[in-house]
């Protein structure tokens, strides 16, 4: 069974631009969570989607948003990019919101210049 | 508040020794505690997990213990090997406003180095 995939793997953007990242979960998994990983802040929860609905949200500004499609694929969008948004963005998939085990994708490395 | 403290931040052991990493969580609603291993440049990999109704779980050389009263949980690796060298993260789940438990609060990580 294929694992979690994320595209693109690397991205360079300029301050003020916006970016969209994509995540395809493991086949059959319906929950997708997004995390930001930085050397200074570690792994931080952004939000979770299940059945096209946001189930939970972390403490990030409204510039960070997401959505989930009927095939469980998820996208996250960051608008008005700031230098501090440079990070590894990881998504993780799970069967549902109640089965706990989350499996991570390889991440998208975003650099904001 | 939502917080998971992890210690130590770095751990250096000789091959064959045991390694112990400890975490403390703050929210008593947490009921699921996974451990992830992340090698340089790779994705976090789920290596073992424990749920709040279990005190201990073992998988070959890896074990996790949970003390709900003290809000502590620990990872134990026995007979360490050089390939165990990585950053290890503990995490605690938190419930969502709609009933799910997929919000994970992570510890800061422990960099484990196993020397041959």
Query: Does A60 reach chain B within 8 Å, measured CB to CB?
Result: no
B45, B20, A44, B17: which is closest to B6 by C-alpha? Answer: B20
Interface mutation target, options B87, B96, B102, B105, chain A, most CBs of A under 10 Å? B102
The span from the CA of B95 to the CA of B91, in Å, is: 13
The pLDDT of residue A102 is: 94
Smallest Cβ distance to A106: which of B43, B51, B101? B43
10-residue mean pLDDT profile of chain A (113 residues): values are 93 98 96 95 94 90 97 97 98 82 97 98
- Which residues in chain A have their CB less than 8 angstroms from residue B32's CB? 100
Query: Does A23 reach chain B within 8 Å, measured CB to CB?
Result: no
Across the interface, whether the CB atoms of B98 and A107 are under 8 A apart is answered no
The pLDDT of residue A96 is: 76
Q: Per 3-state DSSP, what percentage of chain A is helix, strand, and coil (rounded to 5)?
A: 5, 55, 45
Tell me what percent of the residues of chain A surpass a pLDDT of 70.
97
Please state the separation of Cα B73 from the chain's center in Å: 7
Q: What is the mean pLDDT of residues B18-42?
A: 95
Strand order in the sheet with B72-77: B4-7, B19-25, B72-77, B62-67, B56-59
Cβ-contact A6, A20 below 8 angstroms: no
Smallest Cβ distance to A43: which of B49, B102, B106? B106
Smallest Cβ distance to A100: which of B93, B105, B106? B93
The answer, yes or no, to whether residue B98 has pLDDT greater than 80, is no
| DSSP per-residue string spanning B73-114 | EEEEE-S--GGG-EEEEEEEEE--TTS---EEEEP--EEEEE
B49, B30, B46: which is closest to B38 by C-alpha? Answer: B46
């Amino acid at each position: 069974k294929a694992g979690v995939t994320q595209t693109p793997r690397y991205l360079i953007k300029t301050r003020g631009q916006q970016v969209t990242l994509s995540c395809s979960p493991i086949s059959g998994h319906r929950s997708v969570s997004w995390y930001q990983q930085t050397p200074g802040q570690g792994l931080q929860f952004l939000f979770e989607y299940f059945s096209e609905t946001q189930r939970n949200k972390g403490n990030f500004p409204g510039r960070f948003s997401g959505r989930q499609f009927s095939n469980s694929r998820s996208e996250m969008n960051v608008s008005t990019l700031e230098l501090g948004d440079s990070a590894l963005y990881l998504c993780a998939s799970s069967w549902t919101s109640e089965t706990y085990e989350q499996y991570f994708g390889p991440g998208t490395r975003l650099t904001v210049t | 508040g939502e917080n998971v403290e992890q210690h130590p931040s770095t751990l250096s052991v000789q091959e064959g020794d045991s390694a112990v990493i400890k975490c403390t969580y703050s929210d008593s609603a947490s009921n699921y505690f996974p451990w992830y291993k992340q090698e340089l440049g790779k994705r976090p990999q789920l290596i073992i997990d424990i749920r709040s109704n279990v005190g201990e779980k073992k998988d070959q050389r890896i074990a996790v213990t949970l003390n709900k009263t003290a809000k502590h949980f620990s990872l134990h690796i026995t007979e360490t090997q050089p390939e165990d060298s990585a950053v290890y993260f503990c995490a605690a789940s938190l419930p969502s406003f709609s009933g799910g438990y997929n919000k994970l609060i992570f510890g800061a990580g422990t960099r484990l180095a196993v020397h041959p």
